């Protein structure tokens, strides 16, 4: 099964309470977006957004240029269905991040638990270069920390800490702040995440 088939199957067969990453309120992401002091017309993209509620928060806050990208069309459909008419205010992109060719630049690039699936050096390098040319201001990345799980959804992940995330992106970004968070899964287990907010230098 390839990567896209894996994720389509996940969203076809599992409910939000059956996958570890579900969170009612994406607190760390919201805190870091608030600290970015973005204007309401800032172009914001959520990479591997799945059916995360981050887009609901961004709409509620009045952001007007929101994009959500995911490899799974089923994930996007689920988010669209949840939002109803409000989904029309969002640009939805079904793409593998490694095939994504942005047609614009983004003021804020957010990624919770998608980047960490890249385990090959070439793929990490590709993502880093994509971010370097596509992000104008703020980069927010959340991954499993080096005290977190080694797998997510049955797939190997790369673990990080603030220093190693900075090592990946530090050529173009300054590290402004980091958050270490124990995410409580729907099965009442804990997953240690690291989030970094970086600003383009
Ligand atoms: C662990 S989930 C996290 C979902 C969401 N960010 C959240 O915080 O709830 C990972 C998401 O990344 C997507 N994904 C995985 N690999 C991807 C890739 N190469 N390109 C784009 N999306 C990908 C999956 O479909 C899934 O929705």
Average pLDDT along the chain, 201 residues, taken 10 residues at a time: 97 96 97 98 98 98 98 98 98 98 98 98 98 98 97 97 98 98 96 98 92
- Is residue 22 in some structural domain? no
Query: Residue whose CA is closest, atom 12 of ligand 1?
Result: 48
How far is CA 154 from each of CA 12, 14, 92, 182, rounded to the nearest angstrom? 16, 13, 26, 20
Of 70, 95, 118, best ligand 1 pocket probe by most atoms within 8 Å of the beta carbon: 70
What's residue 45's pLDDT?
99
- Give how many domains the chain has, as a whole number: 1
Show Cβ contacts of residue 162 under 8 Å, excluding neighbours closer than 6 positions: 175, 178, 194, 196
The CATH number of whichever domain residue 7 belongs to comes to 3.40.50.150
- Is residue 183 in some structural domain? yes
What's residue 44's pLDDT?
98
CA–CA dist 42, 62 (Å, integer): 11
What's residue 194's pLDDT?
98
Beta carbon of 111 within 6 Å of any ligand 1 atom? no
Q: Which domain holds residue 100?
A: 3-13+39-200
What's residue 39's pLDDT?
98
- Is residue 26 in some structural domain? no
Exposure b/e, 84-102, CB count within 10 A at least 16 = b: eeebeebebbeeebeeeeb
- Is residue 151 in some structural domain? yes
Ligand 1 centre and the CA of 49: distance in Å?
6
- Is residue 106 in some structural domain? yes
- Is residue 32 in some structural domain? no
Query: Residue whose CA is closest, atom 16 of ligand 1?
Result: 114
Beta carbon of 113 within 6 Å of any ligand 1 atom? yes
pTM over 0.95: yes
Ligand 1 centre and the CA of 170: distance in Å?
23
Instruction: Ligand 1, residue 98: give the atom nearest the CA.
Output: 19
What's residue 37's pLDDT?
97
- Is residue 25 in some structural domain? no
């Amino acid at each position: 099964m390839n990567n896209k088939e894996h994720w389509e199957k996940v969203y076809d067969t599992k409910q939000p309470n059956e996958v570890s990453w579900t969170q009612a309120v994406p607190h760390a992401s919201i805190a870091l977006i608030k600290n970015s002091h973005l204007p309401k017309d800032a172009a914001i993209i959520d990479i591997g957004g799945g059916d995360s509620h981050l887009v609901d928060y961004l709409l509620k806050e009045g952001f007007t240029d929101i994009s959500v990208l995911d490899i799974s069309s089923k994930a996007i459909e689920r988010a669209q269905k949840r939002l109803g008419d409000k989904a029309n205010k969002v640009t939805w992109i079904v793409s593998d991040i490694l095939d994504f060719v942005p047609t614009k630049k983004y003021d804020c690039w957010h990624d919770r638990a998608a980047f960490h699936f890249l385990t090959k050096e070439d793929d990490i390098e590709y993502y880093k270069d994509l971010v370097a040319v596509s992000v104008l201001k703020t980069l927010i990345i959340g991954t499993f920390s080096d005290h977190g799980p080694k797998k997510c959804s049955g797939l190997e992940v790369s673990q990080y800490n603030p220093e190693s995330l900075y090592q990946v992106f530090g050529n173009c970004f300054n590290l402004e702040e980091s958050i270490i968070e124990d995410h409580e899964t729907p099965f009442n287990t804990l997953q240690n995440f690291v989030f970094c907010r970086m600003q383009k230098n």
